[in-house]
Amino acid sequence: MIPVSVVIVTKDEQENIEDALRSAEGAQEIVVVDSFSTDRTVDICRRYTDRVFQHAWEGYARQKQRGVDHAQGPWVLILDADERITPELRDEIAGAVQRGDHDGFAMPRKNYFLGRWIRHSGWWPDSTLRLFRKDRGGLEEREVHEKVIVRGRVGQLKAPLEHYTYETIADYLRKMDVYSSLAAKEIGRRGRPGAFSLVVKPFITFFRMYVFRRGYLDGMHGLVLALLYSYYTFLKYARAWEQHEKTGNQV
């Protein structure tokens, strides 16, 4: 048994959710916050847990925090629908929680792109804080790339989460459309981006991933990934610039 409340946020995740739920079997409880999925997501979730709540989408951070608020156990593990708890991580979590010498734990993630584990490009070990005492942590309020904030000691686990992200390039482009719009809102609050952000920062992104973080060792997967991320960088700044043009805001 994993002595934690596993929290998962869903929206039309019928292709992913069952593997995530299966990996979380044996948890103290599984809490699902669903944003009124139109596919079989909710039906699948109810096979594994009766703690399924539906709520209109309020953003990644707020939606996950809502799941944390529903959790009944003292420890919470945030799990995305395209992530899997490995058996090694399950055992390590149980030991860490029982020791009780920390208030939260980060863990590495094995990120898969187009079916391949990306070992470089800044994608490994990709440590992420997901396990925490409910009374000592919560989600930071952000538009995108939300993260857990813990008030107290944070340790590091060794066993990884598995993250099956971007199974196709079309999948990446769909998600990039959403993420770039959200990121543009945060960028826009800091002012209107100029030519440097639109022209130079995408090249910096490519160089950092492909050269500095040795993405070239990931072969064509690393090249394609670096190019896609450089385009994402351009797009989020372009959209922030567009928003300022529409509203007439100045730097």
Residue 228 lies in domain: 169-247
Looking at the structure, do residues 73 and 148 belong to the same domain, yes or no? yes
The whole-number pLDDT of residue 251 equals: 38
The last residue of a domain, from among 117, 145, 164: 164
77/195 same-domain check: no
- Tell me which of 164, 192, 221 is where a domain ends: 164
Q: Are residues 100 and 51 in the same domain?
A: yes
pTM for this prediction? 0.91
72: which 2 tokens? 């009944």
Which pLDDT score is estimated for 142? 78
For 88-118, write each residue's pLDDT tens digit.
999 999 999 999 899 999 999 999 999 999 9
Residues 6+ away with beta carbon under 8 Å from 178: none
**Domain check: are 236 and 180 in the same one?**
yes
CA separation (Å) from 36 to 6, 22, 27, 94, 142?
20, 21, 24, 32, 22
> What tokens appear for 218 in the block?
């990931």
CA distance 203 to 102: 40
Which ranges of the chain have pLDDT less than 50? 249-251
Same domain, 36 and 150: yes
CATH number at residue 140: 3.90.550.10
- pLDDT at residue number 100: 86
Q: What pLDDT does 163 receive?
A: 98
The pLDDT of residue 44: 98
